[in-house]
Amino acid sequence: MSTATTPTSVIHDIGYKPYTGPRQGRAQIVRALYMHSVRGIFGLGRGPKAKIVPWFVIAVMLVPAALNVYMSSSNKALALGYGVLGYHLMLFAVLFVAIAAPELVSRDLRHHTLPLYFSRPLRRGDYPLAKMLALFSSLLLVELLPVLVTYVGQIASATSGHEIWLDSRAAFPAVFVAFTQSALLSLISLLIASTTGRRVIATGAIAILFLATTAISGVLQDAVGTTYVSHTVNCVEPTVNINTANGNVYGFGGGQNGPPTGGVSQLCPGVGNNENVTGVNGTLDPNKPGYADITVTYQTPVYSMIAKAGGMIDPVNVVEGTKIWVFNSTDDLIPNPSPIGPLYAAELALLVVVASGGMFLRYRKVSVS
């Protein structure tokens, strides 16, 4: 090694350079925290493990949406109508928040990172505000996705302006459900997650809360609160098999010669599509060859107050009940809460206020040292 070689590289101690660039205010810091939280929810900038659940949920949300697009392109009824999208996909929304909420708030509790936030310009309320907005808007995005895809599919295959107008009107309850369900699920799950630094426990508690309340609510609505009243309807309809003699023309539930149960509603006016048909009897009409006199017996549920109020236990049903009240139309997912619809709406508002207020209270007294 020659000592005369000139060094090819030199280490310079460039020392400390004070930062002289711009500094952002509190509002921009809150926005940065919001963006950071949203990225965390979808696992962006994190490892592949953090992406599994959010992107799985998004994929699941797109399945009925894709089916809907197919159905509308082939001019059939939607696979999963606007009104029931949010309700039927609720399980995945719960899965989404059960993973995302602990990721947002339990991590900072577990690692005691909060003092680092509160020793910075952020105020006490800014942290929960950013977290709540982040989870709400992320879930809203996920829940609006199938609605939007379905809507675009319908518009694309619409043939008239009037049809577009009808589709838009039909989509409105779905948007309402997406908004209210996102608000309720995200706020409640954040409040739960903010009580523990252990993510597994928070996830479990959130899942159990929503699933257990749904189950209890279901029991109250169906088993406890519902009785049935029988109805009988007579009508004259063409027989399918002209040679059938007296007796059971249409075997119950779509016998050999008869239409399926669902078809009864189209034969005998007055029998609803979703009614619980218990029997179809017919005799050949003596006066009208090829026709039969049909007697349909069916049951309609009668909901007691317990059934009507049973939905108030479950946040998802609260959203559904409020939707029924606001739009004055039911998709028969839950008993029509009328006349206590306003109570559902009031509970919805109350839950939102209590959960978000609870979040602000939770972070008001976090110690810094």
Partner 1 sequence: MWRAPHRGYLLDVSDNERSIIEATALTMRYPGGVTALGDLTLTVRPGITGLVGANGAGKSTLIKILLGLLTPTSGAVRVLGLDARERGEEIRARVGYMPEHDCLPADVTATEFVTHLGRMSGLPATAAKEQAAEALRHVGQHEERYRQIGTFSTGMKQRVKLAQALVGDPGLLLLDEPTNGLDPAGRDAMLALIHRIGTEFGIAVVVASHLLSEIERICDHLVAIEGGKLLRAASLDSMTQALPWLAVEVDEGTELLRARLTERGLTVSPQLVQRQLLVRLDEEPVFDAVRDAVADLELPLTRLEHRRHHVDELFAQVQAEPTAQEAQL
Contact residues for partner 1 (CB under 8 A)?
15-19, 21-26, 28-29, 32-33, 36, 45, 107-108, 111-113, 115-123, 368-369
Q: Shortest approach of partner 1 to residue 7 CB, angstroms?
A: 21
**326, 338 contact by CB (below 8 A):** no
Nearest residue to 136 via CA among 332, 356, 365? 356
Other C-beta atoms lying within 10 Å of the C-beta of residue 44: 13
DSSP 8-state assignment for residue 257: S
Q: Which one, 106 or 213, has the nearer CB to partner 1?
A: 106
In angstroms, rounded to a whole number, what is the distance separating the alpha carbons of residues 290 and 242?
6
In the complex, the smallest distance separating the C-beta of residue 107 from partner 1, rounded to whole angstroms, is 6
Q: Is residue 272 within 8 Å of 264, Cβ to Cβ?
A: no
Query: Which segments of the chain are extended strands (E)?
Result: 226-238, 276-284, 291-303
Closer of 48 and 289 to partner 1 (Cβ): 48
At closest approach, how far in Å is the CB of 113 from partner 1? 6
Q: Find, among 86, 93, 121, the residue nearest to 185 by Cα.
A: 93
d(CA 59, CA 267): 40
- Vertex 131 angle, CA 130 and 135, to 5°: 115
Q: Let me know the angle formed at the C-alpha of 310 by 308 and 314, rounded to the nearest 5 degrees.
A: 130
**CA-based nearest residue to 83, from 15, 160, 178:** 178
Query: What is the closest distance, in whole angstroms, from the C-beta atom of residue 118 to partner 1 in the complex?
Result: 7
Give 112 or 169: the residue with its C-beta nearer to partner 1.
Answer: 112
Hey, what are 252's tokens?
């119950």
Among residues 16 and 287, whose Cβ is nearest to partner 1?
A: 16
* Rounded Cα distance, 36 and 52, in Å: 18
Task: Classify residue 270 as left (phi > 0), alpha (psi -120 to 50) or beta.
Answer: left
Beta carbon nearer to partner 1, 33 or 351? 33
CB of 29 to partner 1, least distance (A): 6
Q: Kindly report the number of other CB atoms within 10 A of residue 91's CB atom.
A: 15
Q: Could you tell me the smallest distance in angstroms from the CB atom of residue 186 to partner 1? A: 22
Least Å distance, CB 75 to partner 1, is 49
Shortest distance in whole angstroms from residue 320 CB to partner 1: 38
Q: How far is the CB of 16 from partner 1 (least distance, A)?
A: 4
Nearer to partner 1, 111 or 288 (CB): 111
Q: Would you say 213 and 188 are in contact if contact means Cβ atoms under 8 Å apart?
A: no
**Closest CB to partner 1 among residues 116, 354:** 116
> 32 or 242, CB closer to partner 1?
32
Nearer to partner 1, 118 or 291 (CB): 118
